[in-house]
DNA sequence: TACAGCAAACCGACTGGTCAGTCTGTTGAT
DNA sequence: ATCAACAGACTGACCAGTCGGTTTGCTGTA
């Protein structure tokens, strides 16, 4: 009927909707079949298992986030401006992709070992990305030395938590998040952002 | 054989161990039976369902955390010292109760609506507690005005994220967490903590 | 002190509904 | 004719919860 790429994407799309709304365990494969208007056969042709289907969604979003952050960093000069750009890109991407964000930050938590591994992997990856540029900022002299391992994880947590709240309640608006959270984070390492 | 309180606690204890290690869905009631050396009957005599058993663990820890934070706050003077005490108590309690912390911060996430409601409830509760005393600190003049709604949630997230990491990897040690995270959070609202 | 009566506390084999994954096809393009 | 891309009825493992039965401790009675 349609081309296979289309079917695969319809499946991913419906899975994204259902998983993000109802969570992994409360979403039945048959529901994904119904919503995507495909069939059990189609799903299991494109994905070997429910688990892998979910992981595919996680990967999809992780790649997107990674790409966006890297692009943002590349356009800035060395030092704290890069950290700032990374945080902005991160918040911006979460803001633009609400459903995948919820999958990543909420629905992927507390599932078994496989998902947890992937989640921690992605999480650590971004924390380390932030950490690298924080270290750079310290080297360059933009900020004074801090325990960047803890700072980077604390930052991720701060962002996640505010974003999660926004995902659920729609408040506060992304605009207000950005304008409050960013200065907050930068201040936490004694960086004055008043140049913006 | 034993008194009923004993059985109930053995069940809660085993459930805590298993849920925190394997998560809600990967823990079978029969495993709790085995580990607690009781029986299906005993469990369902004390708890109406698996769901309620898990919720009981959440409540248990939420009460403990609440009590500890309130006690810590009461022993301090108005203003930023109270905020400081609350954060310290929070980190301290998570540190002392690793398994319940994992239940609360990890395993309770992404389960259905009932658990999510409870989790957001508890989360918001503590965020609001922090917020109240942040507002007080602003009123008293310890710090200049900030968006306390976002700050309080960001703080909770920062704490959670670092604690979760510690729960999984055992690093960094609670000592280092406290001595890095606390100044970080306080600095984020421009409060100089050098009096400590 | 013995014992019946009774209920709370507990035991564990069993069940019934659920659902991921399978399998036997069908369709349509090359 | 062949095979990728589906369709959808079916299965069987899994597991929360049940239920008839047993034990334990307590209370009143003689």
Residues of chain A in contact with residue B155, where contact means CB-CB under 8 angstroms, are 158
Per the listing, tokens 């924080």 go with A134
Residue A62 confidence (pLDDT)? 96
Q: What is the mean pLDDT of chain B?
A: 93
ipTM of model: 0.91
Spatial distance between the Cα atoms of B127 and A177, rounded to a whole number of angstroms = 16
Which distant-in-sequence residues (6+ apart) come within 8 Å of A104 by Cβ? A58, A61, A62, A119, A122
Q: State percent of chain B over pLDDT 70.
A: 96
The pLDDT tens digits of the residues spanning B78-114 come to 899 999 999 999 999 999 999 999 999 999 999 988 8
Instruction: Say yes or no: B6 contacts chain A, CB-CB below 8 A.
Output: no
The reply to whether B39 has its C-beta less than 7 Å from any atom of strand C is yes
Please name which of A167, A160, A158 lies closest in space to residue A186, comparing C-alpha atoms. A158
Region B141-165: what's the mean pLDDT?
A: 95
Buried b (16+ CB within 10 A) or exposed e, B7-38: bbebbbebbbbbbbeebbeebebeebbebbeb
Domains of chain A, residue spans? 1-48, 54-195
The pLDDT tens digits of the residues spanning B30-56 come to 999 999 999 999 999 999 999 999 999
Residue A2 confidence (pLDDT)? 59
Q: Provide, in whole angstroms, the distance separating residue A37's CA from nucleotide C24's C1'.
A: 21
Answer whether B153 sits within 8 Å of A176, measured CB to CB: no
Please give residues of chain B from 98 to 157 whose alpha-adjacent beta carbon (CB) lies under 7 Å from any atom of strand C. none
Buried b (16+ CB within 10 A) or exposed e, A34-58: ebbebeeebbeebbeebeebbbbbb
Ranges in chain A, pLDDT < 50: 1, 196
Residue B19 confidence (pLDDT)? 98
What is the assigned CATH class of domain B1-48? mainly alpha
* DSSP alpha helix (H) spans, A37-79: 40-46, 50-74
Give the mutation candidate from A94, A99, A109, A193 for the B interface (greatest B CB count, under 10 A): A109
pTM for the predicted model, two decimal places: 0.93
pLDDT at B2 over 60: no
Q: End-to-end CA distance of chain B, in Å?
A: 53
Instruction: Say yes or no: A177 contacts chain B, CB-CB below 8 A.
Output: yes
Count Cα atoms within 13 angstroms, Cβ side, for A1: 6
Instruction: Say yes or no: A114 contacts chain B, CB-CB below 8 A.
Output: no
Instruction: Say yes or no: B120 contacts chain A, CB-CB below 8 A.
Output: yes
Buried b (16+ CB within 10 A) or exposed e, A123-155: bbebbebbbbbbebbbeeebbeebbbbbbbbbb
Spatial distance between the Cα atoms of B15 and B22, rounded to a whole number of angstroms = 10
Helix (H/G/I), strand (E/B), else coil: B76: coil
Q: Provide, in whole angstroms, the distance separating residue A64's CA from nucleotide C26's C1'.
A: 38
Instruction: Say yes or no: A91 contacts chain B, CB-CB below 8 A.
Output: no
The pLDDT tens digits of the residues spanning A76-132 come to 998 999 999 999 999 999 999 999 999 999 999 999 889 989 998 999 999 999 999
More confident residue, B116 or B27: B27
CA separation, residue B87 to residues A160, B69, B97, B138 (Å): 19, 8, 16, 17
Buried b (16+ CB within 10 A) or exposed e, A76-114: beebbbbbbbbbebbbebbbebebbbbbbbbbbbbbeee
Answer whether B177 sits within 8 Å of A146, measured CB to CB: no
Q: Provide, in whole angstroms, the distance separating residue B23's CA from nucleotide C11's C1'.
A: 27
pLDDT band (50, 70, 90) for residue B195: low
Contact present, A54 and A24 (Cβ < 8 Å):
yes
Which distant-in-sequence residues (6+ apart) come within 8 Å of B8 by Cβ? B46
* DSSP alpha helix (H) spans, chain B: 4-22, 29-36, 40-46, 50-74, 80-96, 98-102, 113-140, 148-169, 174-188
Answer whether A157 sits within 8 Å of B159, measured CB to CB: yes
Contact present, A89 and A72 (Cβ < 8 Å):
yes
CA separation, residue B31 to residues B24, B25, B48, B106 (Å): 12, 12, 17, 20
Instruction: Say yes or no: B23 contacts chain A, CB-CB below 8 A.
Output: yes
- Structural tokens at position B43: 């469990």
Spatial distance between the Cα atoms of B23 and B71, rounded to a whole number of angstroms = 31
Q: Provide, in whole angstroms, the distance separating residue A65's CA from nucleotide C27's C1'.
A: 39
Please name which of A181, A149, A145 lies closest in space to residue A166, comparing C-alpha atoms. A181
Residue A3 confidence (pLDDT)? 74
How close does chain A come to B184, measured CA to CA in Å?
5
Helix (H/G/I), strand (E/B), else coil: B97: coil
How close does chain B come to A25, measured CA to CA in Å?
8
CATH homologous superfamily, domain A54-195: Tetracycline Repressor, domain 2 (1.10.357.10)
């Amino acid at each position: 009927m349609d081309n296979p790429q289309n079917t695969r994407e319809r499946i991913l799309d419906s899975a994204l909707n259902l998983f993000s709304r109802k969570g992994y365990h409360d979403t039945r494969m048959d529901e994904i079949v119904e919503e995507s208007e495909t069939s059990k056969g189609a799903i299991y042709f494109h994905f070997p298992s429910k688990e892998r289907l979910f992981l595919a969604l996680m990967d999809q979003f992780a790649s997107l986030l990674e790409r966006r952050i890297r692009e943002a960093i590349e356009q800035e000069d060395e030092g704290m401006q890069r950290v700032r750009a990374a945080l902005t890109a991160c918040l911006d991407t979460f803001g633009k992709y609400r459903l995948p964000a919820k999958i990543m930050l909420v629905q992927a938590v507390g599932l078994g070992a496989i998902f947890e591994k992937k989640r921690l992997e992605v999480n650590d990856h971004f924390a380390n990305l932030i950490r690298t540029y924080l270290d750079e900022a310290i080297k360059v002299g933009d900020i004074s030395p801090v325990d960047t391992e803890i700072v980077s994880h604390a930052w991720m947590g701060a962002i996640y938590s505010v974003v999660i709240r926004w995902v659920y309640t729609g408040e506060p608006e992304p605009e207000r998040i950005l304008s409050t959270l960013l200065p907050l984070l930068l201040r936490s390492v004694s960086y004055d952002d008043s140049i913006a």
